Structure 1
């Protein structure tokens, strides 16, 4: 039975496979939001390549792991954040300043909190990775 929380399943699958020193993982089910989150993680060099596998049902994501994820998780509820308030959320979810990223859904798409701060955008918190 597929998971209801696709992002929580994505983060927990990646974390569990990282802790077992696996080189890749298979995430079921796939979604467009999960693919956007993976693009942000790939841009930040936390994961390698990923691909969507169409199995005719819900789809799967094959993710290449690089061994750089120490902890990751979903943020529930998806708190709204103003453009100038990322620092307090950074203190809450990340171990130190400039260590890790918060994944944010903005009006211009899914991006890291540093990119959203540079663009002056607020949004909703989706997850954290460090």
Structure 2
């Protein structure tokens, strides 16, 4: 399974079981950047990287705010004008949730990408 998809499904499964903590492995820099975006928008609490000698893992504090999340496969390229289209496909309502994408400015949410005037590839969605 792809690591980003694995992270999203692990977070969602632990949220649905009302757990307060989630451990995701193997860890990667991209996963850390996605978690940083989720933390900025209040979907997860603190997270830390734990080096276990086998690729590492993330320990994530859950806040109970994730209703659904998932990765977008294949990684569709998106311009600023297409955020509305992808939002309709993956998010429940206009101002609910975020699309996470990788841009030349880093891994950011679609709201920040629209303000920065940057397009990129969709990684996932959270609401």
Shift of 1:83: 1.5
Q: TM-score under structure 1 normalisation?
A: 0.96
Deviations 1:47-92 (A, max 9, x none): 0000000001110000000000000000000000011210010001
Q: TM-score under structure 2 normalisation?
A: 0.99
1-structure distance, mates of 2:52, 2:7: 18
Count of residue pairs the alignment pairs up: 127
- In the alignment, which residue of structure 2 is the partner of 1:128? 125
Structure 1, unaligned runs of 5 or more: none
Deviations 1:91-119 (A, max 9, x none): 01000001000001000100000000011
- 2:95 aligned with 1:98: yes
1-structure distance, mates of 2:100, 2:45: 17
- In the alignment, which residue of structure 2 is the partner of 1:53? 50
1-structure distance, mates of 2:36, 2:125: 14
2-structure distance, mates of 1:91, 1:127: 14
2-structure distance, mates of 1:56, 1:72: 29
2-structure distance, mates of 1:85, 1:67: 30
- In the alignment, which residue of structure 1 is the partner of 2:26? 29
- 2:72 aligned with 1:75: yes
- 2:106 aligned with 1:109: yes
1-structure distance, mates of 2:68, 2:82: 23
CA RMSD of aligned residues (A): 0.6
SS in 2 for 1:85: helix
The runs of at least 4 aligned residues of structure 1 exceeding 3 Å deviation read none
